[in-house]
């Protein structure tokens, strides 16, 4: 497949319960593939009190 035609995603996920990070990652990866056909994504789980991403404004 031509590299210009592949879908990709970068995702920041926020959770209050850090003990569920693996479950959150697994579910997010499943949803991206099942709903959007995205098989490769970069996913990052962050604690609810993390600052930074909300400052981007986009």
Asked whether residue 58 is assigned to any structural domain, the reply reads: no
Residues in the chain: 58
User: Structural domain tally of the chain?
Assistant: 1
Output the six-digit token pair for 45: 């789980």
| Residues in the chain with pLDDT values less than 50 | none
Query: Is the pTM value of this prediction over 0.75?
Result: no
Domain of 14?
3-50
CB 39 within 8 A of CB 6: no
* 15-to-3, 5, 23, 50, 56 alpha-carbon distances in Å: 32, 32, 11, 10, 19
The pLDDT, as a whole number, for residue 5 is: 64
The pLDDT, as a whole number, for residue 31 is: 94
Asked whether residue 29 is assigned to any structural domain, the reply reads: yes
């Amino acid at each position: 497949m031509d590299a210009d035609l592949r879908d990709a995603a970068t995702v920041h996920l926020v959770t209050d319960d850090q003990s569920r990070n693996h479950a959150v990652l697994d579910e997010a990866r499943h949803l991206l593939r099942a709903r959007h056909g995205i098989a490769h994504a970069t996913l990052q789980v962050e604690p609810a009190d993390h600052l930074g991403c909300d400052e981007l404004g986009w």
